[in-house]
Structure 1
């Protein structure tokens, strides 16, 4: 299902949910049961077939035939069970004990009782600015969940105990019973299918169950979307009931503002130290705690954050309402709360806070050390290369176009876009770099709120689809800063269509199939001569070669070539290298004049060889 199709379903179904809530719930219930019904059908069908086979064998005594049929069914049953047995990894975090966090555990016990929610089995402390309630099924798709509550130490240190209690109550609200049981159940079912889909995507190959989920999950998500969105409001209301509407609203506003504060005052500083420090800082979380409690942006910046969040259009694909919608439902204004005198982390973790922060420090370092060191080495190399190229450029040395591009690119990354701009302008007519240089000029100007940049980017986007997604995002950000919401909406729709087009283009370019239409290659004489020179290299071992072009629907100006090759007698006689290894090696070496596939002749591609022989100009090498 494409994004446009999904959105069209939402636009049709949302009015149904508003006009007849009870009837709509019944439909969503049906879709939820359909998923579990399919699972049950697979299991019962498999068991039933094996039972029937066994019964027929007993009554007919045709044991040889039944044995063979039973073996086939056993393989089928194994594939079914294997596709259903998906392991759900538990969430990661530091498990909190009653000794370390007695007030928090007591609060959770009280809230679960008040919300008629299932018991929380484990409470995990993380380094994230977030909180969540997670159910990890111990039996995979068959359920029996273990319930986790995750609380981020930075979040707890940025909120008062009352505000943090409201945040945790909202998360537990998704597990609640009572009047809101149906919405909470649908929310959890959706989370389960989402996790299941993510796990299946990591498995190689396709199964009966994975094919079902690819059809079922998008449709269930579309039908359940209005229910899950309503459940977000219901979870807010449940949290407000346990605390107060004012406290819940303050928590929502504080989360938005404090998160942005920590990003700017702490994490941006940590990221900037990548080039200087060979290893990640050992106290990244501990060092954050004072800033989380007392750090502030300017009053104007904080108010801008709140205003933009409240006035933002809803994300039609997200089940999370905007801040403005949530505050309106609570009947509360958008106000930046005062800094807490005592934070939730201090109140709930007490004297254990420093030791817990130190443990998170160690975990944060261990999970990032390798990547940090790699990135540090790259940045140092880039800085050294920038100094070298800058010195040569400043002393009047002539740089090649590739070197000038490298200098411009490194200058933008390590100095500023303004400094890189004149360097990019020198490449606007270069045969190799003109498109990249012109887009870079457009990006720099647009980010500086210069409307001229839009023209530069559009010129490139019109001829090269690889730049379209980035260009649309830059345009949207430009109009967002200028407050042009109508233009932002139009660009969002264009981005949606382009994303679907990219998906379809990638799908048609990922393989060659017997149903594909093959066309003449249409290479120029110079392109063909260059390719033939390469195909003739003795080390390639090519006996014959045919070149075709696959017909594509999207981005037709970017041809997709298919080079069919037959090995020479010498290659055929080799026993140390298989034909598949040979053709894989060729695919990595041969420079086609565009995207394409290199495929070896053989029975699997007899249809392709037949198609090639139907085009008189397809055989380009080895004829005779």
Structure 2
């Protein structure tokens, strides 16, 4: 049985469902947006300083991927398997843990056994070629065994990197070490060997073996400075006790063992996917385990990690108290939303200013994080956090489940008299802030300059659009939408209303304009409160609700806007937004039909996405009709990237996904010697390209598209001359 060529795609899908936190356990489930993460503002030039409008708009996009991922066990089957294992784990947790550990050992044993057989086969075949003469079958067997040995060697060479951060000694923060030592004794946890502080709203324990596979682990405790600024000492103690729960129960070692098994199989699958010479011979030895072992082991490991999180919470309750543990969780949830929706957008908005210097986020947080719990949206953030289910890769239970387990009623905690950073770090806090800010500034200097330059270009674009929209020559619909988005980014939400109303008044199907106008009106009506507190809706709120209803339902009289046939691209985000507004208004009698419609739209979206991301059947492609002004920023980005040779922008449709479409940004590399990684570059482009609609980046050098089986499809891309939007050679001629 050959290793399925879509196995790497399956691994990616399961990696989202199960991202083991053994090596880097998250306590809060929330990340500070100052980290070097491609999903965060400030990481890449295409994402700096996104406004609330842009974040709402991006949230409406279906996820984009380099290649469609198919699985031998679909998502429904995997979740059902997880549910069964959770039941087994609840009844016999110790047996479940031992069985999962044994399966991890079996996974390693199978890899080592196959490696041994491959080595024996390689030596036997090589010896036979020298002693008994050359045979073609010996050459194939030699290639297969050699290829398999190389793949397994790569899979087993898994180095666990130490965490990043600033290392603190006992002399640096004696009160913090005193707290840690006290918690170690109470939790019966092994001592902390290294204490580090980083710039995350997070805490973690990392166990690194001193002797490799022989063990003797060194325990690293990593505390985020934003975390310490957000919590009081008792709340921070509960977080640390939770992390010590992983150490005391040997969770770190067992989790790392399970993690290495999963990672080894992933690396092996990746190597076999890329293997050319001897691939068919070698893959026959692994097909059964790829299709049977990994999904089942993954489901068990996911359940085991969730069990460990509950046990770690129990230890925090026993050591520090349920009330402090629960209030810390709530505070982290609110602070996470404050950073995402207020702090980081405001910080990147400073790039608009003339001669703006690169800011110091840690220094700003020291002052501004105190406002998070009393922010006007804090209550809404808590309500939404209580409804949020864990992300697919997050083994932590939901906030609501964790509060119920702690037997605590959800409520915003009181403002602490002093935060843990001020109390425990003392005089060292100032220099620590300076160090972390210096590191952030060094990482973000280029991105900050690009954000500043992008703002200057946006201001010039606004002037150009205003001057171009005359009675004699009106702007196209996508140009009016560009005007609205740019005005919101450069000025404020109110500035976007005029171009949006113009788009609605002039064009037949301005669905996106209706949705964006609703968001702009909600921005003016914010904060939205329950009807018991404000019985009368404002004019802005009433108009926004009518617009959202018109998009959510197929044919609705939307007041002064006339009848509207909903566009599925905007019906789904409109339904989600409408549900949120009605919940905040406590208009429960109106929620039932909205939620029924939302479930239907979500199902349609899943089916449409699956259809549009299928590239095995004949494709219906056409050139994307987009205004040059809308493409201007994208082309500016391409001119800066020497790796891009040509680019096409195509629009894919399918009769099976009526009303839906997917834009394809097809990239052909240049002949430059400086070329990024063929497996990951598409992700970088996906996050940087500022196109305002759902799109998939297709890097023709990626192994999936470079496969001979897709030669005809790639040729179809290249022959779409009307969809060609960029050619590097033409840009060079223009410069000359």
Q: Distance in 2 between matches of 1:8 and 1:476?
A: 29
Instruction: State whether residues 186 and 228 of structure 1, in contact with CA within 8 Å, keep that contact through their aligned partners in structure 2.
Output: no
- The verdict on how the C-alpha distance between 1:431 and 1:159 changes in structure 2, with shifts beyond 3 A counting, is closer
Aligned to 1:41: 110
- The verdict on how the C-alpha distance between 1:200 and 1:390 changes in structure 2, with shifts beyond 3 A counting, is farther
Q: Distance in 2 between matches of 1:305 and 1:210?
A: 47
Aligned to 2:203: 131
Q: State the aligned residue count.
A: 538
Aligned: 1:237 with 2:331: no
Aligned: 1:453 with 2:529: no
Q: Distance in 1 between matches of 2:128 and 2:428?
A: 71
Aligned: 1:400 with 2:475: yes
Aligned to 1:379: 455
Q: 2:419 aligns with which of 343, 346, 350?
A: 343
Q: 1:361 aligns with which of 437, 449, 453?
A: 437
Aligned: 1:505 with 2:611: yes
**Pairs within 5 Å for 1:9-48:** 9-10=78-79, 13-14=82-83, 17-18=86-87, 21-23=90-92, 26=95, 29-48=98-117
Q: TM-score, normalised by structure 2?
A: 0.60
Q: Distance in 2 between matches of 1:143 and 1:432?
A: 68
Q: Distance in 2 between matches of 1:522 and 1:205?
A: 31
**Pairs within 5 Å for 1:535-554:** 554=656
Aligned to 2:670: none
**Structure with higher helix content:** 1
Q: Distance in 1 between matches of 2:209 and 2:551?
A: 48
Instruction: State whether residues 199 and 226 of structure 2, in contact with CA within 8 Å, keep that contact through their aligned partners in structure 1.
Output: yes
Q: Distance in 1 between matches of 2:365 and 2:179?
A: 25
Q: 1:320 aligns with which of 372, 386, 396?
A: 396
Instruction: State whether residues 350 and 356 of structure 2, in contact with CA within 8 Å, keep that contact through their aligned partners in structure 1.
Output: no
Aligned: 1:555 with 2:630: no
Q: Distance in 2 between matches of 1:363 and 1:10?
A: 41
- The verdict on how the C-alpha distance between 1:21 and 1:360 changes in structure 2, with shifts beyond 3 A counting, is same
Map Cα deviations across residues 247-279 of structure 1 (whole Å, 9 max, x no partner): 323322333344455667744431321211555
- The verdict on how the C-alpha distance between 1:302 and 1:397 changes in structure 2, with shifts beyond 3 A counting, is same
Q: 2:221 aligns with which of 144, 149, 154?
A: 149
Q: CA deviation at 1:141?
A: 9.4
- The verdict on how the C-alpha distance between 1:83 and 1:298 changes in structure 2, with shifts beyond 3 A counting, is closer
Q: Distance in 2 between matches of 1:222 and 1:407?
A: 48
Q: CA deviation at 1:472?
A: 5.1
Give structure 1 stretches of 5+ with no counterpart.
524-548, 562-593, 613-624
Map Cα deviations across residues 536-583 of structure 1 (whole Å, 9 max, x no partner): xxxxxxxxxxxxx9996842677999xxxxxxxxxxxxxxxxxxxxxx
RMSD: 5.0
Aligned to 1:171: 243
Q: Distance in 2 between matches of 1:190 and 1:478?
A: 43
Q: Distance in 2 between matches of 1:78 and 1:305?
A: 50
Q: Distance in 1 between matches of 2:361 and 2:653?
A: 53
Q: Name which of structure 1's ranges 379-388 and 5-14 shifts more when overlaid on structure 2.
A: 5-14
Aligned to 1:390: 466
SS in 1 for 2:175: helix
Q: Distance in 2 between matches of 1:362 and 1:169?
A: 30
Q: Distance in 2 between matches of 1:498 and 1:385?
A: 37
Q: 2:328 aligns with which of 251, 256, 260?
A: 251
Q: Distance in 2 between matches of 1:153 and 1:598?
A: 39
- The verdict on how the C-alpha distance between 1:222 and 1:370 changes in structure 2, with shifts beyond 3 A counting, is same
**Pairs within 5 Å for 1:430-449:** 434-441=510-517, 443-444=519-520, 449=541
Q: Distance in 1 between matches of 2:602 and 2:288?
A: 25
Bigger RCO (CA 8 Å, 6+ sep): 2
- The verdict on how the C-alpha distance between 1:390 and 1:490 changes in structure 2, with shifts beyond 3 A counting, is same
Instruction: State whether residues 306 and 395 of structure 2, in contact with CA within 8 Å, keep that contact through their aligned partners in structure 1.
Output: yes
- State which structure, 1 or 2, has the greater radius of gyration over its C-alpha atoms: 1
Map Cα deviations across residues 63-95 of structure 1 (whole Å, 9 max, x no partner): 655984445422321122123324444332222
Instruction: State whether residues 286 and 361 of structure 1, in contact with CA within 8 Å, keep that contact through their aligned partners in structure 2.
Output: yes
Q: Distance in 2 between matches of 1:204 and 1:238?
A: 43
Q: CA deviation at 1:378?
A: 1.0
Q: Distance in 2 between matches of 1:212 and 1:358?
A: 51
Instruction: State whether residues 551 and 567 of structure 2, in contact with CA within 8 Å, keep that contact through their aligned partners in structure 1.
Output: no
Q: CA deviation at 1:367?
A: 1.4
Q: Distance in 2 between matches of 1:604 and 1:160?
A: 59
Q: Distance in 1 between matches of 2:435 and 2:614?
A: 49
Q: CA deviation at 1:151?
A: 1.0
Q: Name which of structure 1's ranges 421-430 and 60-69 shifts more when overlaid on structure 2.
A: 60-69
Map Cα deviations across residues 404-423 of structure 1 (whole Å, 9 max, x no partner): 44333323333444443342
Q: TM-score, normalised by structure 1?
A: 0.69
Instruction: State whether residues 239 and 248 of structure 1, in contact with CA within 8 Å, keep that contact through their aligned partners in structure 2.
Output: yes
Aligned to 1:578: none
SS in 2 for 1:508: coil
Aligned to 2:232: 160
**Pairs within 5 Å for 1:148-227:** 148-177=220-249, 188=256, 205-206=273-274, 219-227=296-304
Aligned to 1:531: none
Q: CA deviation at 1:453?
A: 2.0
Q: Distance in 1 between matches of 2:76 and 2:124?
A: 50
Aligned: 1:412 with 2:488: yes
Instruction: State whether residues 257 and 305 of structure 1, in contact with CA within 8 Å, keep that contact through their aligned partners in structure 2.
Output: yes
Q: 1:474 aligns with which of 577, 597, 604?
A: 577
SS in 1 for 2:657: coil
Aligned: 1:90 with 2:162: yes
Instruction: State whether residues 445 and 451 of structure 1, in contact with CA within 8 Å, keep that contact through their aligned partners in structure 2.
Output: no
Q: CA deviation at 1:101?
A: 2.5
SS in 2 for 1:426: helix
Q: CA deviation at 1:30?
A: 3.8
SS in 1 for 2:206: strand
Q: CA deviation at 1:373?
A: 1.3
Q: CA deviation at 1:156?
A: 1.1
**Pairs within 5 Å for 1:571-586:** none
Instruction: State whether residues 10 and 225 of structure 1, in contact with CA within 8 Å, keep that contact through their aligned partners in structure 2.
Output: no
Q: Distance in 1 between matches of 2:340 and 2:570?
A: 28
Q: Distance in 1 between matches of 2:83 and 2:324?
A: 30
Q: CA deviation at 1:388?
A: 4.0
Q: CA deviation at 1:361?
A: 0.9
SS in 2 for 1:98: coil
